[in-house]
Amino acid sequence: MASGALVTTGGLLSACGTEGTAQNADSCVSEDTSSTDKKLAFSNWPQYMDVDEKDESKHPSLISFQDSTGIEVTYTEDVNDNDEFFGKVQNQLAGCQPTDRDIFVLTDWMAGRLIRLGWLQKLNKANLPNVQSNLLRSLRARPFDKNDEYAVPWQSGLTGIAYNGSVTGEVRTIDELLTRADLKGKVTCLTEMRDTMGLMLLANGHDPSNFTEAQFDDALEKLKRGVSSGQIRRFTGNDYSTDLAKGDIAACIAWSGDVIQLSAENEKIKFVAPDSGLMLWSDNMLIPNKAARKANAEKLIDYYYDPSVAAEVAAYVNYICPVEGAQEKITEIDPDLAENPLIFPDDATMNKTKVFMALDEAQERSYSTKFQQAIGA
């Protein structure tokens, strides 16, 4: 998922949080009514949960959770991109008011922003024994949540290159993507700055996890040349999937889980780790301030860190599973998936990945504004 909306500079400034919007545990006290209110509201991205093959409105893992706990879950697929969802909940969270959600799922950088603003409740680790035992070591103590106090990965993913072998040959590098003559006008990049610019930084030999403003500007010039030359057709969210499947575009910057799903329908659609490296990201389960059923939410979060349950979800969504032990369990569902390095990456793949540097508010405003201007937003 990890999608980001296009916003104007004015919208960006408001989205980054303005003076007076920050909260903390003392200024915004949340009361937990879980013991008497056996319900839970869960907002997630579309197609990010296992479904019943005979009835796609049903989610077997959620049904099992409800049956075993007696907690009724209202599950809504209303997170379409990070900035758009931020706009839905910004006023309530800034004003210490309920969002009518007990859990929502947002990408690393947006989770970091909400932590910075004091808009999330701190997790009770005593309620999360499965998380404590089974969260992959590589996803612990991340820069935006160093003590693992607020965010628990739902799924993780890789950002790299995808191409449709029905309309072009293999594409191995970002430079090929941006300059190869046969791809001109048939390339898309992502509206999510951290994915697109992360790959541009890597292609220029810079480290996306630790870069200077000059290095960012250097990488941005590479992207600008791709725009001005007509090589890049447009910038997209998840909608690149349709164009790639149809062959309307030949190659693109893409998310690994999307490409696994596309390649199941057309084996000529391939995901490639660029020679210069991949970007790694996670979408995280978060409990907002004034969510009244925190203990219920923690029970659900911990339930999804049971390896058998995690395997059930991974078999459907095809992103990187963040749960230790799920790879062994998924062999009972589909042995081929257990060997897929895009769902259970090996050390060689993970060694090629970088996580985008945590930005403070001023950096986020500056870099995002430059990026939006470069892509014509």
CA distance 136 to 343: 13
In eight-state DSSP terms, residue 126 is: G
Give me the domains of the chain, ranges plus CATH numbers: 27-150+287-305 (3.40.190.10), 157-280+357-375 (3.40.190.10)
List, in sequence order, the alpha helices (H) in 204-318. Answer: 213-228, 240-246, 256-265, 294-303, 307-317
| Total Cβ atoms within 10 A of residue 212 | 10
Which DSSP symbol is given to 168?
Answer: S
- What residue has token string 């004091």? 118
Say what the pTM is.
Answer: 0.84
- Judged on CB neighbours under 10 Å (0-12, 13-18, 19+), 265 is exposed
Each residue's pLDDT, cut to its tens digit, for the chain (377 residues) gives: 654 333 333 333 334 434 348 998 889 999 999 999 999 999 999 889 999 989 988 999 999 999 999 999 999 999 988 888 999 999 999 999 999 999 999 999 999 999 999 999 999 999 999 999 999 988 999 888 999 999 999 999 999 999 999 999 999 999 999 999 999 999 999 999 999 999 999 999 999 999 999 999 999 999 999 999 999 999 998 789 999 999 999 999 999 989 998 998 999 999 999 999 999 999 999 999 999 999 999 999 999 999 999 999 999 998 999 999 999 999 999 999 999 988 999 888 888 999 899 888 899 999 999 999 999 86
**3-state class (DSSP) for residue 328:** helix
> Whose CA is closest to 188, among 233, 231, 221?
233
Helix (H) or strand (E) holding 5: none
